[in-house]
Structure 1
Amino acid sequence: MGGILRSNRPWLLVAVTTLLSWTVAKKVEEPESYAQPPRHFELALTWEQYAPDGRAREMILVNGQFPGPTLEIFQGDEVEVVVHNKMPFNTTVHFHGIEQHLTPWSDGTPGLSQRQIQPERSFKYRWTATQYGAYWYHAHQKGQLDDGLYGPIIIHPYEYIVSPFSLISSDPKTLQDIEKAAKNPTTLVLSDFRHMPSYQIDALERASNVEFTCYDSILFNGKGSVDCWPPEKIASLLTAQQKGFLKAANLTSFTPKGCLPGGAIASVLSPGVPVDLSVVPPEIFNVCIPSTGPKEVITVTKKSHESQKWLALDLIATFGLYTVSFSIDSHPLYIYGVDGEYITPQLVDAITVTNGDRFSVLIPLTTPGSFPIRAASVSAPQLMAATATLSYQTLNSTGSAFPPTIPSILDNGLPASPSVRFFSQATQKQFHPPELVQPTSHETFKLYMRISGTSFGWALNSSVLPAAVLDWAADPVVLFSPTPYASNNVTITTLNDTWIDLVFIAATFPMPPHPIHKHGAKMWLIGSGTGPFPWATVDEAVREVPDKFNLVDPPRRDGFVTVSATTEPTWTVMRYHVTNPGAWLLHCHIQGHLSGGMSLVIQDGVDAWPVVPDEYLGYS
């Protein structure tokens, strides 16, 4: 796509920021009248044999590759993505973190914003790049994310957007090097991978009444291997939490695949529910088959006139289940962006990365050599780790006798020493956020998360979202015909320009942490705590336990992880501003939990409902 901002757009020539902002806002208000040709992409989806980790399986390729191609965009662009479904399955594509301001029909959620794209059909998504930063696109049809339908989105900011780089260094030359690196970031897609297609996983889960929490490999940019550890290593890496799960299930060890056995998953999460482990293939939980695939190497080339001093990485977590610890041996990490927005930089050694997360990272290149890039699962059901490589030299380096590297994390994701600094979401500060969090809200929704019947059935608010809602059978699509103030546990209705509190309550336990993602808007994480949530509203809770809340400078993201509950209930509060009317999904981003029903429909701004263009309304 090139790295030069196009200058033929009228607002790039406006010198006064206020006039520029007015021009952009006016353009966004009328998405159907495109004055300039949109930035156009074509994505052809095919179902083919492919071997990312050395073992072939049928999976989704996008334009013949995995992961899919990067969509490189500039803030302010009108974007057009045409998806051609050449697979034997229905599908949709969601643009994760893209707010879809005034274009909710391009959000890509089946049953909510569109009808599914049937085989041999195409669908045109059109939206405005109102944001900047790192995002990604992925399937939003059942478990197809696990089948490989995903790829990065990088949106370069307007030139007038102020960056936080001066908080990293005040030296003019260093600042110049940092800004140069940040304009051309390297994308690093982190994923977990299974050897069995998602539709088979779903069928086997339902036949056995067991959630499959075991994967086969961790991939960096779609590359990796299956590494089978000896039982001694697995035993030595078990965490206190994992040992507790084994004890609760009357077991003593994880499987040779590094997994909590399937029977233990069922007995801990859904005790008393009959299971049939005889239908579960041994490779799902128990048998590890090693394989060798390609290894990702990020090489910083040595230039004739100078050496590159900094590397910018955009980490994009496309995990179906995992949360991992991430680090690069012997290198500190400056985190300057989270979920596509600048933050006050944090200097760390490692990051906890979960489903849907994006982290923009600056890395000083000071000591030449080859350094392991590490990702290790911290998800309780499985021990697994993998590495890629960062390799670089400087002008005066010989490429030999490099010193040994120093890891920051172990293969179970725990810190390698007490001095290791992890990224702190609790102290994450937004750098010039687009708005400040409102000190009070208009409405509170208390959502009781629970396991529903089986270990693969999950409810975001007591009730499982019926599968038919997110299916082709959903007619009419919610966006096309909303049902204001639907009285049930799986629908929320709000008014435009109101502030909404969502309280996620883990009322039953044990309850794992859930990465909750909201379509159409970012949220503020304003509070959390242990024990019950007895208050009728969050405002009442703030008055009684103010120390549990931050209404001054809380973190702002499009996805947050709820507080896990081991021995008592917990609660997590997110606040958001309704400024983008439409039908949006609120859901857990763990693919098994999403397929298991852990979702809500939010009809935001029902009093200012958008008029759907005929081309989307009539698509079938």
Structure 2
Amino acid sequence: MAGSRFTSALSVLSLASAAIAAPLTSANTANVLNRRAEEICKATSDCIPFTIEVAWGGVDATGAGSRGAILTNGSFPGPALRMKVGECVDFKVINHLEVDTGVHFHGIQQTGTPWSDGVPGLSQYAIKAGDTYMYRWTADEQGGYFYHSHYKGQLMDGLYGAIFISPSDEEENPFSAVDSSAVDALKLAAAKTEPLFISDWSKYTFDQFFAIEEAANIDIACADSLIVNGMGSQTCLTKDQLTALSPPQVANLTAGAGYTAKGCIPANTPATQGNFTRNLAALPADVYDTCTPSTGKTYTLEVDAAAGYASLTFINPGAFAILKASIASHKMWVYDYNGHYVTPQQVDQINVANGERVSVFVKLDQAAGDYQIQISNMGLNQVISGSAVLKYKGSAATAVTGTALLNVAGNPITNTTTVVPFNALKAAPIPAEQVSKTADRTIRMQIQKLPNQPDAYRWTLAGNTPYDMSNDDGTPLLYKDPATIQESDIIKKTNMGEWVDIILETTGPLAQPHPIHKHANKFFMVGQGKGPFNWTSVADAVAYNASMFNFANPPFVDGYTTVPGEGTNTWTVFRYKVEIAGAWFLHCHMQTHFSGGMAIAILDGVDNWPYAPSDAGKVCQGEGSSNSTWNPSCNCPASCPANPGKGPDGNGQGNGQSNGSSGSGSSGNSGSGSNNASGSSNSGDNSGSSSSSSGSWDNGVWVGPNNPSTGDVTSSENTGSNSYVPNSNTGSYSSSTSGSGSGSNDTSPIKTFTGAASSSHVSLFTVLALAVAALSL
């Protein structure tokens, strides 16, 4: 694959001649193979030490009262890890939970370290309660990523934190296309990018949530609120407001009933829930029908206009909601998308699907004030939105200033408001990456509710078979001889060097979008369309009409959202090269869909199968340090003057005490100050029209059961959002950051190793529009 590639610090381990043994820090001892790779701890590590302790605690995210959640170093979300390309990390997890866990590094390719992907049942045994486990891996590509639990549904309980990897000094970047006169300011802003975790939030823990789905036999798509960095509110709209914001489709879908008091399509709607027998008596009223307003804290990010630009990285770890984000009176330049620099786009709005990371520059050229960062739901399933605050240094504002672009339903405030959204189809990678025009292998998937069974919450990526969460507790596929593993609907195999097509067809008539994530090898999104995929391969489809595909400069990502559609199937095609051998997931990143079975395992490179070191997971941290521009070891050089608590005396630096246990910062230096505590730290989009009567182009995708064999397809820029059944109402109801109670602002942004938001942070986000697109049948 073209582009920057860095050999893992562990690549010195001989993967070809080694074999694996059982896990090291857990009680599991079965399935030990005779051959082993070289031990990880044999040599002294110069990797960055980073420790997280995970424990169950209370979180009041919306001011409605505490619910159980997973705290990381006592905080929610967890602390950020910042590195530089070429550096490795010793990422230590201390499991204080009473249950198993595992930590995945979302978007990190794990070149040479497939045993560090963090997926129980695929790449490791689960980390047992009370155990300590260490992952070691190397940062091989710049970008925004995040770590999160990959054990059953724990992601919904809050175990996640940001990872930022700075580029190598010589790496190409797209900053001059944003502002050629301010490249240095943009570099500094990118090095200091701030994470904004935006997601849906429920008062119920994952176990409670899933139990309600089972008992009521529904697929829940109704949230209490949308939160930003663990803060938000539950806001309740009046019936008149909901009616004014309701698009025509809702009346048709609900037989005139309209939205519930929580702004949700009712749980008894067949068009969105499917034709299943429901037990609504088992559904608590507050899941769909009862709205109780509450006011928590508002996340506030302070910026300094003297810097010229700020960088924000939006990350969606949510359960089911695909979200929109905009900033009052500010445009955004998207420069990094799902782990890769892209051709910059100046936009008013970005769409952030589950598992996605979108990094933007914001020019700080407005008057000092507090500007609303608005989050809204993308789909019809719920009218809900929320907000944070972008606060200029020196602002004395007592209320949010500036002009919001979107209303509470995420639509333009007025019919004359022009909103330019981010177009993922045009996210051409920088530097350019080359995709093969042919493939060696095809994996075809059928996304749908699990057929011929009674459960409304069960999904399949493979067409007929769901992935079972109980596999998390089994022997990892990586710890087996691949020759003994039989291919099936949910287990596929590839060989090293192959180009693989993944054809994803989503079953209609209501084909909602699905944010699909692949572990390890990134992929190119080469084509998508509406209607069935009527060919046996991409080659056949290209022969029929090559204009349906982009092999020149397609998005190069680890996650992409399938195309939605009404009244028809839709299809999306990913193509990737097998360069990193191991056992990897391909799955929907909506937690409700993933837990319902929408996943498969791909055993990439079975002809050069890697065997885990005998001491994989063993704790053997070294004394490395990070060269990242923005990290606690800066000690206030000119390159990072805003690094908080980092005076010349070293106050506040890493290796502090967190919850009575040692935390590790990226610098490995000890701090002596009182703030020592938190430690661990296409160019063308194929839009246009066709003269063929068999179909047409719509929003960048081909529409029709048969694609055009004749006629010219004229490419034209598409500025419409690629959203699922977007709300069409453009009423004037405006979202407000004020809630029904007396909340407060938290002005301390999440910084590396400063503990993020504490467990007492109450999520205020006034009504984050967090509705996932309507559920397919």
Residue-by-residue CA offset, 1:538-586 (whole Å, 9 max, x unaligned): 1111111211100101111111111123201111101011000100011
Q: Does 1:345 align with 2:335?
A: no
The offset of 1:233, in angstroms, is 1.3
Give the aligned partner of residue 488 of structure 1: 488
The offset of 1:269, in angstroms, is 3.5
The offset of 1:119, in angstroms, is 1.0
User: Secondary structure of 1:146's match?
Assistant: helix
CA pair 618-297 structure 1, distance change in 2 beyond 3 A: closer
User: Secondary structure of 2:424's match?
Assistant: coil
Are the aligned partners of 2:371 and 2:400 in contact in 1 as well (CA < 8 Å)?
no
Whole-Å Cα distance in 1 between the matches of residues 510 and 222 of structure 2?
19
Whole-Å Cα distance in 1 between the matches of residues 93 and 595 of structure 2?
23
The offset of 1:588, in angstroms, is 0.6
CA pair 201-27 structure 1, distance change in 2 beyond 3 A: closer
Whole-Å Cα distance in 2 between the matches of residues 388 and 260 of structure 1?
26
User: Secondary structure of 1:542's match?
Assistant: helix
Q: 2:265 aligns with which of 260, 264, 274?
A: 260
Q: 1:123 aligns with which of 118, 121, 133?
A: 133
Q: Does 1:279 align with 2:246?
A: no
Whole-Å Cα distance in 1 between the matches of residues 292 and 597 of structure 2?
32
Greater relative contact order (Cα 8 A, min sep 6): structure 1 or 2? 2
User: Secondary structure of 2:92's match?
Assistant: strand
User: Secondary structure of 1:72's match?
Assistant: strand
* CA root-mean-square deviation: 2.2
Are the aligned partners of 1:34 and 1:78 in contact in 2 as well (CA < 8 Å)?
no
The offset of 1:618, in angstroms, is 10
Q: Does 1:225 align with 2:228?
A: no
Are the aligned partners of 1:100 and 1:106 in contact in 2 as well (CA < 8 Å)?
yes
CA pair 79-540 structure 1, distance change in 2 beyond 3 A: same
The offset of 1:617, in angstroms, is 8.9
Q: Report sequence identity in percent.
A: 33
Give the aligned partner of residue 406 of structure 2: 409
Give the aligned partner of residue 15 of structure 1: none
User: Secondary structure of 1:145's match?
Assistant: helix
Are the aligned partners of 2:9 and 2:138 in contact in 1 as well (CA < 8 Å)?
no
Whole-Å Cα distance in 2 between the matches of residues 603 and 201 of structure 1?
31
Q: Does 1:354 align with 2:353?
A: yes
Q: 1:449 aligns with which of 441, 447, 450?
A: 447
Q: Does 1:330 align with 2:339?
A: no
Q: Does 1:88 align with 2:98?
A: yes
Give the aligned partner of residue 166 of structure 2: 156
Q: Does 1:48 align with 2:77?
A: no
The offset of 1:27, in angstroms, is 4.5
The offset of 1:439, in angstroms, is 0.8
Are the aligned partners of 2:144 and 2:163 in contact in 1 as well (CA < 8 Å)?
yes
Are the aligned partners of 2:261 and 2:290 in contact in 1 as well (CA < 8 Å)?
yes
The TM-score with structure 2 as length reference comes to 0.72
Give the aligned partner of residue 216 of structure 1: 224
Are the aligned partners of 2:10 and 2:113 in contact in 1 as well (CA < 8 Å)?
no
Are the aligned partners of 1:134 and 1:358 in contact in 2 as well (CA < 8 Å)?
yes
Q: What amino acid sits opposite 1:428 in the alignment?
A: A
Whole-Å Cα distance in 1 between the matches of residues 312 and 434 of structure 2?
28
CA pair 284-580 structure 1, distance change in 2 beyond 3 A: same
Are the aligned partners of 2:461 and 2:587 in contact in 1 as well (CA < 8 Å)?
yes
CA pair 599-466 structure 1, distance change in 2 beyond 3 A: closer
Whole-Å Cα distance in 1 between the matches of residues 582 and 207 of structure 2?
30
Whole-Å Cα distance in 2 between the matches of residues 294 and 145 of structure 1?
22
User: Secondary structure of 2:7's match?
Assistant: helix
Q: Does 1:71 align with 2:81?
A: yes
Whole-Å Cα distance in 1 between the matches of residues 383 and 43 of structure 2?
50
The TM-score with structure 1 as length reference comes to 0.90
Give the aligned partner of residue 604 of structure 2: 604
Whole-Å Cα distance in 1 between the matches of residues 43 and 590 of structure 2?
37
Q: Does 1:392 align with 2:392?
A: yes
Are the aligned partners of 2:115 and 2:478 in contact in 1 as well (CA < 8 Å)?
no
User: Secondary structure of 1:471's match?
Assistant: helix
Q: 1:270 aligns with which of 263, 269, 274?
A: 274
Residue-by-residue CA offset, 1:562-618 (whole Å, 9 max, x unaligned): 112320111110101100010001101111111111110101011010011112399
The offset of 1:508, in angstroms, is 3.7
Are the aligned partners of 1:531 and 1:570 in contact in 2 as well (CA < 8 Å)?
yes
Q: What amino acid sits opposite 1:275 in the alignment?
A: R
The offset of 1:73, in angstroms, is 1.4
Whole-Å Cα distance in 1 between the matches of residues 208 and 8 of structure 2?
48
Q: What amino acid sits opposite 2:332 in the alignment?
A: L
Q: 1:195 aligns with which of 164, 188, 203?
A: 203
The offset of 1:479, in angstroms, is 4.1
Q: What amino acid sits opposite 2:297 in the alignment?
A: P
Are the aligned partners of 1:115 and 1:477 in contact in 2 as well (CA < 8 Å)?
no
The structure with the greater share of residues assigned to helix is 1
The offset of 1:530, in angstroms, is 1.7
Give the aligned partner of residue 100 of structure 1: 110
The offset of 1:379, in angstroms, is 2.5
Give the aligned partner of residue 462 of structure 1: 463
Give the aligned partner of residue 630 of structure 2: none
Q: What amino acid sits opposite 2:291 in the alignment?
A: C
User: Secondary structure of 2:565's match?
Assistant: coil
Q: Does 1:592 align with 2:592?
A: yes
Structure 2 spans left out of the alignment, 5+ residues: 14-39, 620-777
The structure with the greater share of residues assigned to strand is 1
Are the aligned partners of 1:463 and 1:490 in contact in 2 as well (CA < 8 Å)?
no
CA pair 213-401 structure 1, distance change in 2 beyond 3 A: closer
Q: What amino acid sits opposite 1:439 in the alignment?
A: K
The offset of 1:35, in angstroms, is 6.4
CA pair 141-242 structure 1, distance change in 2 beyond 3 A: farther
Structure 1 spans left out of the alignment, 5+ residues: 1-20
